[in-house]
Amino acid sequence: MQKYFCIITDTCYTLFVQSTRQKILHYLNSHPGAAAVEISRSLDLTAANIRYHLGLLINSGWVQISGKRDSGYAGRPIKLYNLTSLSLGTNIELLLAAMLESLATKKSANSDLRAIAETLAAKINLNPDNRILRFNKALEYLNQLNYHASWEARPDGPQVILRHCPYLELAKNHTQLCQFDNHLISILFDTPLELTQKRSFGTNPFSPCIFKPKPG
């Protein structure tokens, strides 16, 4: 077992557990489909310790259970672990940025954005007969999409507040995503809405985007 000679402080403990999880990720990168006991032998840590850190890595989306194998004796099958795409890396943002740049050159850009919003909105079954139930269902869906949304009743219709942008880095350079949000929210709430307050990038990262009913 490795020896760690340091005064146990919060900083020291944090560095230790980060190092342990980084070592687990590094091991799984070169040994996909490994079991906890195999990782523990390689890192010279207890299997219980490794399982604890694997659980945290699974909860944070870095590791997944990829399968099981027979233990060879009576008892539960042995779980096998792999890295997720989050660990392996993606180029999703680059791809989406290129698509948005291409879309911006088209005359049909706005209608194309609305069509995409309609496709996304169609994935939820809204209640068309009860506006309050529909608004709450729409809000639930927006929060599943990580908008951290809320809505407020107004005499002229609902006011929708988005406290998080799930594609923040893209939105900084591609303002058509604000148009997309406008279409999506208007469709979900079945009300023509417009963006009246836009988050201030860099000034206040927690500033909300606010959508109010269009006048008239």
Tracing tokens 């209608």 back to the chain, one arrives at 111
**Within this chain, do residues 80 and 54 fall inside the same structural domain, yes or no?**
yes
The residue among 55, 88, 121 that closes a domain is 88
**Within this chain, do residues 105 and 43 fall inside the same structural domain, yes or no?**
no
Q: How far apart are CA 136 and CA 132, in angstroms?
A: 6
As beta bridge partners, residue 82 has: 64
Domain membership of residue 147 (yes or no) is: yes
Report the interhelical angle of 109-121 vs 176-188 (nearest 10°).
40
**Within this chain, do residues 189 and 154 fall inside the same structural domain, yes or no?**
yes
**Within this chain, do residues 54 and 140 fall inside the same structural domain, yes or no?**
no
**Within this chain, do residues 76 and 98 fall inside the same structural domain, yes or no?**
no
Q: How far apart are CA 164 and CA 178, in angstroms?
A: 12
Domain membership of residue 3 (yes or no) is: no
Tell me the pLDDT tens digit for each residue of 11-59: 444 544 568 888 999 899 899 999 999 999 999 999 999 999 999 899 8
Q: How many domains does the chain have?
A: 2
**Within this chain, do residues 37 and 71 fall inside the same structural domain, yes or no?**
yes
The residue among 39, 59, 88 that closes a domain is 88
Domain membership of residue 2 (yes or no) is: no
**Within this chain, do residues 50 and 29 fall inside the same structural domain, yes or no?**
yes
The answer to whether the pTM exceeds 0.85 is no
At position 38, the amino acid (one-letter code) is: E
pLDDT of residue 203: 61
β-sheet with 209-213: strand ranges across:
149-154, 157-162, 209-213, 193-197
Tell me the pLDDT tens digit for each residue of 74-132: 778 899 999 987 777 777 788 889 999 999 899 999 999 999 999 999 999 887 788 89
Q: Do 134 and 126 touch, CB atoms closer than 8 A?
A: yes
Query: Mean pLDDT lowest for which of 72-76, 77-81, 157-161, 165-169?
Result: 72-76
Identify each DSSP E strand in 60-200 by its residue range: 63-69, 78-83, 149-154, 157-162, 193-197
Closest by Cα among 168, 163, 195, 191 to 179? 195
Q: Which two tokens stand for residue 215?
A: 């006048």
Domain span including residue 58: 10-88
Q: What is the CATH number of the domain that holds 54?
A: 1.10.10.10
Over residues 156-185, the mean pLDDT reads: 91
